Structure 1
Amino acid sequence: MKSTTKTPTPSYVSTTNACKLCKPLGACIAFRGIEGCVPYLHGSQGCATYMRRYIISHFREPIDIASSSLSEKHAVYGGGPNLKKGIINVINKYNAKVVGIATTCLTETIGDDVPMLLKEFRQEVSAEHLPLLVNVSTPSYSGTHMEGFHATVRAAIDQLAGKQETAETTPINLLPGLVSPGDIRHLKQILEDFHIDGIVLPDISETLDAPAQLDYEKIPEGGTAIADIQRMGNARATLEFGRTHCLSKSTGGKLLASRFQVPHFPLGLPIGLRETDRFFATLEDVCNTAIPRKYELDRGRLVDAYVDSHKYLFGKKAVVYGEEDLVVGMTAFLAEIGIVPVLCATGGKSGHLAEAIAAVTDDILSAPPLVCENIDFYEIAEQIETLAPDLLVGTSKGYPISRKLNIPLIRVGFPIHDRFGGQRTLHLAYGGTQSLLDTIVNAIIEKKQADSPIGYGYL
């Protein structure tokens, strides 16, 4: 059995409510997960304003995104002078340790050579404590927010990581992708329970979900320490999440493997029993340490919950949409619990989604789901009317479809704008899977109660 990718061929060329976000937005989130870093967009002011508002709506945390604020004049004559002035302003105002510079459609279209401009800037400015400058190419027209996120992680490794000859420890690198701050905290706790010196890049667990402060901090505490990034070449292994992402030619983990000979372990997002088992088994092998008892108990409780929930879930149909690796992880999980994924949809177009879906479902599902890449929500809605699913699983951008067709929506991933606590949503490992399972079962029960003419008080 093999899943097939379907690329819709409508009779129109417009995109209606894209099932993706823009590339520099992902870069801003990734930069926010580096210690002392200020994200800086080389482009127009509107890009930074839009992304600040979008990120704040999900994480409910303030975020400053600097901008070179290009105008029509700079589109003609080039944005180099504004780029340099903007960096000086960031240095003076924020005292940043890192300035993370991402390009936008405008500066990529006019052809600004950012690496060359930064080289000139370093020669022109004799600042004693010049921050680290990390740049990444992220034009929106060439990809999604996830591609921008992963490109930024790779750029940080490429431009900052090294190998220390006198290193005292050999850490383990963990590249989790764009998961929630709650997930990052959970992963860090797992590494701690394994007694692992772990480096998580990026780490948004505090920078995008901080405690209340008496005074506003321009740059919040937290993020992956620069010193830790600089010693990633000393690691005994790199664990990198994302079945579709890890199929691409160049990732942060593959760069560490080729440059510093750090063993690379590509894994799916640990959602569901089997993908989480693979994650823990890899930790056991790499660390030569048995899984801590607390996670054996978590796994046992999850198996028990699978059994208890089967009568509610078996045979239900679901549409899963969003960024590619989250779609793969959620599809693997849904298939395990007896729900049939009938459509797996994404706005990305890596070409790897069908392959990744098949890898996690071939031995579970009797028929492959429909897999659609480069799709928007207008096209998803057209498919849903034919497929008649019982559940939608994805971001809050699918709410209009959920409301119109009266189909429960399980909100996962980024962005979640119409519910509270998206930054704390747990998706990963046995604990995150248990939380997702409870949410899904209760959504099914609630729909059954709401549709019943008499209601049910005991199910």
Structure 2
Amino acid sequence: MSDYSSPYISTTNACKLCKPLGACLAFRGIEGAVPFLHGSQGCATYMRRYIISHFREPMDIASSSLGEKHAVYGGEANLRQGLQNVMKKFGARLVGVATTCLTETIGDDVPMILRTFKREMAEQGTAHQDLPAIVNVATPSYSGTHMEGFHAAVRAVVEQLAECPEDAGRSAAVNLLPGFTSPADVRYLQEIMADCGIPVIVLPDISETLDGPALDDYRKIPDGGTSLAEIARMGCSRATIELGRTLFGHESAGRLLETRFQVPLHRLGVPIGLRESDRLFEVLQLLAGVETPEKHVLERGRLIDAYVDGHKYTFGKGAVIYGEEDLVIGLTSFLLEIGVKPLLCASGGKSGRLREAIEDVNDSILPELPIIREGVDFYEIAEEAESLSPDLLLGHSKGYHLARRFRIPLIRVGFPIHDRFGGQRVLHLGYRGAQELFDRIVNALLDAKQEASPVGYGYM
């Protein structure tokens, strides 16, 4: 077991991804947007490859392509030229500029550079409608994870583009800030909101931009995403729903909308499982002024029936959960419902909220909390897990080597899923997502038991 009081040595197989990658994913959920990395070409290439492997979709990320010279003299010229190239080649409506370790270390003043660029473009006669919106966010990898980069980009978009004129009234729309979920999850959340009769502005909306249809002709920027007009109206919405327990107490996009525009904020955990989904539907009932639609009441009932039917297969099993903090928290809540004991909850994130959030979702169900580790890598996770004898793992593909080593099933959830097909269509949220996860867990446990049986029985 790791001695957490010993001096830090190195990270071995990190349980996180880099901060600007998360920002690129957030920008991709905006209509007509092109993510732009102010840094070296290698950063953009690595991130494109990583994202494409999971989503199986084209992913362009522009870059200022800095080299050794720019580390000394600064990257302003490359940033300005890169922006002009994006305007010319892509016709972007928004360029999301995220900084990298290099540009943050050398100290490029990106907001100042962008202000100067916009002013000079206007002086050269570029019409306002021809100049894309430009949003910048500071995302050096050494200061956080991809989830922090994602949330920072969403906040930057709201801070720099949302508005509500004094003479404007409140709209009927509700802002939904889902966090980093799958395209399938976003589509399902949109379906739920529509069923409840609630007009919704989802930011970011990756439901089509990262899971689109086959097309006859390649499009440089995919269809879909949250429109700039919708983002501009977010300050006039009648409420905001923000998902993610690690955001509680932080200056998130939802908190910004509340403090700047007085948009009431409803903060919820990521709705994985029965209890967290119930909390979401309670808020939707309040906002819609109607009872939960019968379709979703039936889905909830079928989920409870499945819990009863499958309880004998899951009760008493032990699990190791790893990945993004809010996903780990949601999965922990879900596993407690189905009788699986979380043994280790681990994340590379360091929000400082992981333990408190798991205490909240445990709600005295277990007399003792699972082992909770934040800011860890897979070397440390393996050391902890080895003595716990888990029955299954829940997390993304980077943990496969642990499943192979321990000879136990891996339930692939979250990002990245590189060794299976359809990662962008994995449904995690709501009653429907819980049903799919429950079926996958039960069947994985049955499969493991069947394969280990000396007789290979065919009836459970």
> Which residue matches 1:233?
235
> Which residue matches 1:357?
358
Secondary structure (helix, strand or coil) at the match of 1:387 reads coil
Contact preservation (8 Å) 1:40, 1:99: yes
- Distance in 2, Cα, partners of 1:42 & 1:458: 58
Question: Is 1:310 matched up with 2:311?
Answer: yes
User: Shift of residue 10 of structure 1?
Assistant: 4.8
Contact preservation (8 Å) 2:179, 2:243: yes
Evaluate the alpha carbon distance shift between residue 391 and residue 296 of structure 1 in structure 2; reply closer, same or farther with a 3 A threshold: same
Structure 1: which amino acid aligns with 2:441? I
Point out where structure 1 has 5 or more consecutive residues left out of the alignment.
1-5
- Distance in 1, Cα, partners of 2:403 & 2:169: 53
- Distance in 1, Cα, partners of 2:43 & 2:430: 35
Point out where structure 2 has 5 or more consecutive residues left out of the alignment.
none
The 5 Å alignment of 1:278-317 reads 278-317=279-318
> Which residue matches 2:141?
140
The 5 Å alignment of 1:47-446 reads 47-126=43-122, 127-128=126-127, 129-164=130-165, 165-166=167-168, 169-248=171-250, 250-446=251-447
User: Shift of residue 166 of structure 1?
Assistant: 4.1
User: Shift of residue 167 of structure 1?
Assistant: 5.4
Give identity over the alignment, percent: 64
Contact preservation (8 Å) 1:362, 1:368: no
Contact preservation (8 Å) 2:397, 2:417: yes
- Distance in 2, Cα, partners of 1:286 & 1:257: 16
- Distance in 2, Cα, partners of 1:131 & 1:235: 24
- Distance in 2, Cα, partners of 1:194 & 1:241: 18
CA displacement 1:109-133 (0-9 Å, x = unmatched): 0000000000110111132111000
User: Shift of residue 313 of structure 1?
Assistant: 0.5
Secondary structure (helix, strand or coil) at the match of 2:235 reads helix
CA displacement 1:391-437 (0-9 Å, x = unmatched): 10001100011111111100000100000000000000000000000
CA displacement 1:140-159 (0-9 Å, x = unmatched): 00000000000000000000
Secondary structure (helix, strand or coil) at the match of 1:211 reads coil
- Distance in 2, Cα, partners of 1:102 & 1:117: 13
CA displacement 1:27-66 (0-9 Å, x = unmatched): 0000000010000000000000000000000000001000
- Distance in 2, Cα, partners of 1:437 & 1:121: 52
CA displacement 1:260-296 (0-9 Å, x = unmatched): 0000111000001000000000010122121100000
Structure 2: which amino acid aligns with 1:353? L
Please point out which of 12, 19, 23 is paired with 1:23. 19
Secondary structure (helix, strand or coil) at the match of 1:310 reads helix
Secondary structure (helix, strand or coil) at the match of 1:420 reads coil
Contact preservation (8 Å) 1:240, 1:246: no
- Distance in 1, Cα, partners of 2:3 & 2:31: 40
TM-score, length-scaled by structure 2: 0.97
> Which residue matches 1:3?
none
User: Shift of residue 247 of structure 1?
Assistant: 3.2
What is the RMSD of the two structures over their aligned residues, measured on CA atoms? 1.1
Contact preservation (8 Å) 2:135, 2:160: yes
- Distance in 2, Cα, partners of 1:155 & 1:8: 35
- Distance in 1, Cα, partners of 2:15 & 2:444: 23
Contact preservation (8 Å) 1:271, 1:433: yes
CA displacement 1:341-373 (0-9 Å, x = unmatched): 010000011111000000001321122111001
- Distance in 2, Cα, partners of 1:176 & 1:332: 18
